[in-house]
Amino acid sequence: MSPLPVLQRLAATPHRAAFLPGLFAALLLLAVWSSELLLRQQGASLHRELSPLQAHAALMLYGLFPFFMTGFILTAAPRWLNAASPARWRCVLIPLLLFAALLCALAALPGSHYWLAAAALLWLAALALLAQTMQQLLRQSSVSDRLHAQAVLAALLAGCGGLLAMLYWLLADVAAAWWWMRNLALWGFLLPVFLAVSHRMLPFFTQSVIAPYQVWRPRWLLLTLVGGSWLYGVLAIAQLPLWPASLLLCGLGAACLYRWQSWRSRSVPLLAMLHLAFAWLPLAFLLLTLADFGLVSPLAGLHAVTVGFFITMLVGFASRVMLGHAGHPLQASRGLWWLYLLLHGVALLRVSADLLPAFALRGYVLAALSLLLGLLGWTWFGLPLLARKRADGKPG
């Protein structure tokens, strides 16, 4: 396969330009984290200046998910808003900035924390450009329903705020700023984007394959879901009781599973992947509610969100985009389905390790290695879809 046509195809569509480096970023991150955990068993570490846990949070929150968010947002938002597709240079430059940031962040592990500051600046440039692109699409749009795009834009701006906090932490040596960064990234940026996309797309995809089906996605639900996430972040930053926000999000997540009739998706594996991923949301916030009363470790709920909800939902949505935009039927093969179930097993293992302290370190290592294996399999699935021509002969 000649490299030039492949590069031209990668640059031609937003999802190709962002998903391919995203796959390699995921493998790099999990390989590094697995190595850190294995070294920790021997009393060693990859890190010199930075706390391993603080660096892990920064890398995982900003080093992985923005690639796939970029590909999905730049593909879907023009359709949501009936606007022209963004300029090709934007679709290429944002993933390049994200990947350069990841390389700088990885250089920070055995080296100076200034490398992580450089990564934060590059991440900030990428998210700011993505936010400006979304704002441009909103200005072009004349559709009446722009709430989902507006929620995504607000989340991107919160993500930029988290990166400013990261820079303050690293350059001014203000320990509290790391806490601000973590909560802005998690509850102000990542979770609101996942919630906005789920609110718009899960009922829509379900309606397209299951009949009869009544779409339920009221505006108040999206506003309350995103508002609940921001409330959780504000309470966390202020170190106030979290259970009012976590209980609200637990109840809303459970209501969505019921009103979206998630149980009916089991006959359509590619759709079931999205509904099963969403099922982690109420469970995660139930665990976070229990944690606020001191009954379980807060890490259990945190990893139910990040590994259970984020990772499995990311794989579900990105697989659907890759299949559809490669001209393949929207059907999950047996291999993809079992690979997806493996990721749920990884999430259960990671949460169990947080709930069982005696099993913790071994559980962390096993979960990290299993997730690396699962992402290797997903990369094997995704690479041909991203690099080859569309199977139906259409452009894109």
Residue with token string 């990234």:
185
CB atoms within 10 A of CB 96: 14
pLDDT for res 290 = 98
* pTM of the model as a whole: 0.96
Does residue 1 have a pLDDT over 50?
Answer: no
Q: How confident is the model over 186-238, as pLDDT tens digits?
A: 999 999 999 999 999 999 999 999 989 999 999 999 999 999 999 999 999 99
- DSSP string of 83-109? -PPPPHHHHHHHHHHHHHHHHHHHHTT
CA distances (Å), 166 to each of 11, 234, 239, 261, 267, in order?
Answer: 31, 17, 19, 40, 44
Average pLDDT taken over every residue of the chain: 94
Q: Where are the domains of the chain?
A: 3-387
Average pLDDT of the segment spanning 301-310:
98
pLDDT for res 113 = 87
Task: Please report which confidence band the pLDDT of residue 354 belongs to, taking 50, 70 and 90 as the band edges.
Answer: very high
pLDDT for res 112 = 81
3-387 — its CATH code? 1.20.210.10
What percent of the chain shows pLDDT beyond 70?
A: 98
Does residue 292 have a pLDDT over 50?
Answer: yes
Average pLDDT of the segment spanning 371-381:
96
DSSP 42: T
Does residue 8 have a pLDDT over 80?
Answer: no
Does residue 396 have a pLDDT over 80?
Answer: no
- DSSP string of 6-31? HHHHHHHSHHHHHHHHHHHHHHHHHH
Does residue 4 have a pLDDT over 70?
Answer: no
